[in-house]
Amino acid sequence: MAELSTNAQKIMDLVKEMGAVELNQLVKAIEEEFWVSAAAMVVAGGAAAWADAGAAKNADTVNIELTDAGQQKIAVIKVVKELLNLGLKEAKELVEKAPTIVKENVKYEEAEGIKAKLEAEWASVTLK
């Protein structure tokens, strides 16, 4: 990897922590602000996301962190309610606390399924 300035490294570290939806929003904002195409950025960002996913995949169990509920908060609440067998009030409180761990010590394969369902509703999710 190329040597980065301190500020560039800070940005890189932040990008590595982003979920797919959040990263997509950032790319669109950069394209609009600077009138550039982010095709190369998407590849680089995708590589960082794959690296994080690879680290989590090596673990037997992971924790599922809801980092951001996104704009479809009601849909995310419904998914959390269904997946965790919670009441509506409990699911709403959990989603509103984001970033927060929604489920701990989950087998990686199960966690991927939960992550996919939440991301389908535009939530940002991280497996740790």
Identify which of 99, 65, 94 has the alpha carbon closest to the alpha carbon of residue 77.
94
pLDDT given for residue 88 in this prediction: 92
Q: Is residue 65 located within the same domain as residue 110?
A: yes
Spell out the alpha helix ranges (H) of the chain. 6-17, 20-34, 39-57, 73-84, 88-96, 108-120
Of 36, 58, 80, the residue at which a domain comes to its end is 58
- Mention every residue, 6+ apart, whose C-beta is less than 8 A from residue 8: none
pLDDT in tens, 65-85: 999 988 888 999 999 999 889
Contact between 95 and 66 under an 8 Å Cβ cutoff? The reply is yes
Phi, psi of 101 (to 5 degrees): -75, 125
The total domain count for the chain is: 2
Q: Is residue 71 located within the same domain as residue 90?
A: yes
pLDDT in tens, 2-40: 687 888 888 888 888 877 777 778 877 877 777 766 554
pLDDT given for residue 43 in this prediction: 45
DSSP conformational letter for 71: S
C-alpha–C-alpha distance, residues 10 and 13, integer Å: 5
Show the domain range for 90: 61-128
Could you tell me the pTM of the whole model?
Answer: 0.55
Q: Is residue 54 located within the same domain as residue 90?
A: no
Q: Is residue 49 located within the same domain as residue 70?
A: no
Q: Is residue 40 located within the same domain as residue 65?
A: no
